[in-house]
Each structure stands twice: as structure tokens, then as C-alpha cells.
Amino acid sequence: MSTPTTMMASVLTAPQTIELQRVDVPPPARGQVLIQVTAIGVCGSDTHFYEKGAIGDIIVKGPIVLGHETGGVIVAVGEGVDESRIGVRVAVEPQTPCRHCEYCRRGSYHLCREILFYGAWPVDGSFSEYVLADDDFAHTIPDTLTDEQAALVEPVSVALHAARRAGVSAGHRVLITGAGPIGVLNAQVARACGAVEIVVSDPIPNRREFAAAHGADRVLDPFADDLGDFDQYFDIYIDASGSAPAILSALQTIRRGGTAVLVGMGGEQLNVPIAMIQHREITLTGTFRYVNTWPEAISLIASGAIDVSGIVTGRYGLENVEEALTKSKNDPLAIKTMIIPALTKTTV
């Protein structure tokens, strides 16, 4: 079957304005594959770009397609790519490093200064019917994985990278603030890494319940429970909330020599207790996306070590991307929304 020359895409034309448009299907260049998109997860960064038109120093300067949690099937290949790849189902790693700089050469390609990323200006993302990817960043998935699971490899990779940065291993006690999708997946990845106790804090009852059913040994309400009861208790602290009060209240729970990893997107600055961090020799660090995580993330989902069932609480076509982007903020029962291009009913 031949590939169409045009496709539908949900285009961010201004902050809080998305239009369903018909655009050209991009041809794959050398080393690239063209993927028919089957599922795209909605991420908090997509919502931030939609609402504000920027994240940090990444500023949207014109129309752009958001979306980067992508599953699909290869339908065409560029020069230098084996045609046997056509028809292969994949989970897409949504970044393109330069492959030549010092960071790329040492394996830290996510820190490449020239890296391109889906949905981050000026690179279009995957809220569309087709998308391009580098051949080696279109990771083959087993037949046992669903399209939605393929899309969820990306947030699992976020959690996996955080666990690696934190050094989570057998016997560790872990505190996580934020029980959204990333917080819950961090809990499950920590368990897969050998953590023996995982506590998750979140102010929303439904999210606490979800976390308790998907990896947490105990859940806390930050407005009702006192983290002072856990003074110097946890080996690892991972923030998936981006909330300054949550982070500051949690730092006291880290034992001497422990580690804190900030994953959630919050404010530009945070006043932290430097004396405490110095005296306890706490390692405080952040994460920037992920690196070399896709094969392990796929394996964790395929083996059942990571259970993503139930995490998707809403599915939308391309004409309803705006509703999907704001659902988690407007509906306390929502966990994660997914865009399914095949559900699109409106045509342009």
C-alpha cells in the first residue's frame, strides 16, 4: 500500500490554540524511517507548551506539532535503511542527537547541545498521522506489547533514567513526591531495581489510591501526614511533582549520604537548605529526559515488571488534542490521556 502524500496533524498555532490541519507527509531522509502513528501519550510538558508557549529557554516561535510519547508501525524507509523494517511495530525514542560531539561520543547523547526533540521548537512532534524518526531510534517492540504500551515506553524511560541517576538498588528505601504517571512509574521502576520500601506522597486522593495499587507500599497525604516522622529515613528521594513545598519538606527525610533526584518540572529557582545538604553529604541532582533506556524499558513492560495497565484513563482523536492536554488538570480522576489517530472523526 502506498503512503499518502498528506496527513492530519494537530498544530499548536498560538498558546492555548490548536488547529487540526492537513499537512504534507514528510519523506524519510537517509537513515530515517516514516512511522504511521498508532498511539501518543500526553505528557505534562506538552500541556506546558500548550498553556505557556515555552518551557525554560525552549520557546515556541511558530506553529508546531506537539507530542512525543509515540508508538507506531514503519511504513517507509529512507536511503540506507533495510526495507525489511517496513511493517515493524516500534516505540519511538523522540530525540535526534548530532552523534559527533563530546557528549554523543561518550554515550551521553541526551546532553548533546544540538539535540532535536519531538514537539520542542522547531521540531514537530507526533500528534499527527505520520512522523519521522532515525532508524536506530525506532525501537522494535515484541508482538505482546499493545500500541498504547509502545507509547508508554517513553514515560517508563523517564522513570528508568531517574532511577539510574539516583542509584536505586537492592535494599533501598525510596520516597516519591507526586503520584501522576511519572511518579507511579518511578515507584514501579524502583521496585524492579530492588527497592524494599516505596512511599508515595500526593494531595489528590484518586492518585494516592492509584499509586497504592501500582507499586507503592504506603501513600501519604502531604496536607495530613507529617514527613517529620521520616527524618533521615530514606536512601533515595525522587520528586515527580515539580512542587517547591513538596521538595523542601521531603529533603529532611533523606539519610546521610542519600540522594535526591528532581524529575518534575517546577519553577526556575528553588531555595534549598545548603547546610543540611553539606552536613549530610546529600547528592542533589536532576534529570534531562533519558539516555540508552529504550531496550530496558521495553523489556520491563514486556516482562510484566512494569504494569502500565489502567494508567490510561482517556482516549481521544486528533481533533480533541486540546481536551486531552487539559484533562488531568480539570478532572481529578484522570491519570493519563492518550491520542489515538485512528479515533479521529473530523477530517480537513
215 plus 268 within the same structural domain: yes
The per-residue pLDDT for 266 is 78
Any domain includes 296: no
Any domain includes 91: yes
- Helix pair 205-213, 181-192: axis angle to 10 deg: 20
195 plus 316 within the same structural domain: no
Q: Inform me whether the pLDDT recorded for 2 exceeds 70.
A: yes
Q: Inform me whether the pLDDT recorded for 319 exceeds 70.
A: yes
When pLDDT is averaged across residues 201-216 and rounded to a whole number, the result is 96
From CA 34, how far away is CA 22, in angstroms rounded?
17
The per-residue pLDDT for 347 is 86
The CATH number of residue 106's host domain is: 3.90.180.10
Confidence bin at 24 (pLDDT 50/70/90): very high
135 plus 16 within the same structural domain: yes
Contacts of 80 (CB under 8 A, 6+ apart): 30, 31, 135
Least confident of 56-60, 128-132, 214-218: 56-60
**173's grid cell:** 528505601
198 plus 88 within the same structural domain: no
The per-residue pLDDT for 116 is 96
The per-residue pLDDT for 1 is 58
Any domain includes 180: yes
Confidence bin at 328 (pLDDT 50/70/90): confident
322 plus 271 within the same structural domain: no
When pLDDT is averaged across residues 258-263 and rounded to a whole number, the result is 98
Q: Inform me whether the pLDDT recorded for 267 exceeds 80.
A: no
From CA 63, how far away is CA 198, in angstroms rounded?
42
128 plus 187 within the same structural domain: no
Q: What percentage of the chain reaches a pLDDT higher than 90?
A: 93
Read off the pTM: 0.96
109 plus 228 within the same structural domain: no
229 plus 117 within the same structural domain: no
21 plus 106 within the same structural domain: yes
Q: Inform me whether the pLDDT recorded for 228 exceeds 70.
A: yes
Domain with 237, as residue range(s), is 160-286
171 plus 135 within the same structural domain: no
When pLDDT is averaged across residues 129-154 and rounded to a whole number, the result is 98
The DSSP letter of residue 221 is -
96 plus 205 within the same structural domain: no
Give the total number of structural domains in the chain. Answer: 2
Confidence bin at 57 (pLDDT 50/70/90): confident
The CATH number of residue 264's host domain is: 3.40.50.720
Any domain includes 251: yes
Q: Inform me whether the pLDDT recorded for 291 exceeds 90.
A: yes
Any domain includes 348: no
316 plus 272 within the same structural domain: no
Q: What percentage of the chain reaches a pLDDT higher than 70?
A: 100
Any domain includes 179: yes
Any domain includes 96: yes
Any domain includes 11: yes
